Structure 1
Amino acid sequence: MYDWNFTMWEKENLTYFTIPSFDETNIVKVFFTTRRKGVSKGYYSSLNLGLNTEDTYENINENYNILCNTLKFKKDSLIFSDQVHSDKIYIVDKKSDKDNIKDIDGLITNKKGVTLVTFYADCVPLFFLDKKNEVIALAHAGWRGTVKKIGKKVIEKMVEVYNTDPCDCLIGIGPSIGGCCFEVDEPVVEEFKKGFKDISKFIDKVNDKGYKYTIDLWKINELVLIEAGVPKENITISNICTKCNSELFFSYRGDNGQTGRMAAIMCLR
């Protein structure tokens, strides 16, 4: 039905995605949520997990109850990012670290009992697993984070702190806005020109006038991770566009900025 590389699961109380290559290791639990089967209303209908949205605390709290009860997480194990489209990365050593996470778009841990959570509504979720050393990471790669090569910086931090070999890493590039829908103007393209030698691999003109362009963030992040030493065959791109699939996902662009958030969730077994 769909040419998707992540697997969708429909349960009575939750609809979510997993990454087959990660599941096969039996080292991690890894999930990406959808907008379905929560209690939020209006713009946030219905499984809004965005802590910084204007949804009610009661709705968001109940959505987390649904999530944790269905996926068997302890609520106090959740460690949330504090995303600002940066390339800052935080090493999570214990649950109490949650009080220290400010302006952070990447989380890394090798601790069991810690569940990493990052948030999305078109930006690219990056999932990392060092199979050998049992280290996990999540990174929020919007176009700004992609320009800053946050994926490469996560790998470099894993090498520095945990002696990770990039060849031992699995990567998931999750549901996000695809090159089919991510249209930008010249100033955004100029930012990519500063960081990448050949933008023709992932940027196309919408028309001959060149005022508008489409950008394939999946391809760029794949190239950045290969540059960091991850084998191409270790990278799974979901091929799922959030804007194209509005019945499943919140989309900042598709919903004109008034929308909820999905979550990427990851922990060691």
Structure 2
Amino acid sequence: MSEPIEEPSAASRGTQTLMRGLDLVEALRDTPLRVAELARMLGLSRTTTHRLAAALVERGYVAQGEKGQLTLGPMLLQLGFTAHRRIDIVRVARARMEALSADSGLCVFLGRREGDHSLHLDRAAGRQRLEVSTRPGDRRPVAQTGIGKALLFDEDAAGLARLYHAVRPGTEDAAVEAWVADMRTNARRGHVIHDSIGNDGIRSVAAPIRDVTGGIVAAIGIATAAQYLTQDKVTAIGPQVAATAQAISRDLGYDDAGQSVPAA
């Protein structure tokens, strides 16, 4: 004798309805669709799809567009804006900073841009006895540090030239053009290698962090004495820094599938 088939509970039916509703919203992420198109995409009947869509339209998660097309609604925009405003980038980045520091043994820094300066937000100490003196709250000209240069990956050529002149006034045009070209190379590579100006012998590797808008909101980098960060070590750790920045970017909602780099 076969066992009786158990009817799904109200809770499981509710969960199924919720998941279908979320599937519908996600299907509208890239382009507006009609109910019939959504039904085919989701493998649901038109009646079920219409019922789900009507409920989502009523709550503002989906909107009715032209010619019967459905699109994402204003409630999602409100929720997204609120979530974006409340993001604490230091909190989001901290665990990945500590992991990079533990793996590399080097001090890891986090910073953001403030006008023509970079502001250091946080640091994860490495295992080396020699410490870079930069502390959270320190501000430097944005073109003068590795983190600052990573924050400039989306800057146009005129903006880069202006910021470089602020650090090195009177530099000849040919040298400025070479620096701008070098910055474009850094952007295509995904990280910047920077030797500090002056005689302190500090070398850093940094990469930009993007948020859900695709814009650069911060940068992460490692820094130590150049003697400890030789070219072979830079070759190994550069992609690691870039991968950490990309991971933090994904944590902030950035979709790197369509990542682009400014043209040279």
Of Structure 1 and Structure 2, which has the larger fraction of its residues in helix? 2
Higher gyration radius (CA)? 2
Greater relative contact order (CA < 8 Å, ≥ 6 in sequence): 1
Q: TM-score, normalised by structure 1?
A: 0.28
Q: TM-score, normalised by structure 2?
A: 0.28
Of Structure 1 and Structure 2, which has the larger fraction of its residues in strand? 1
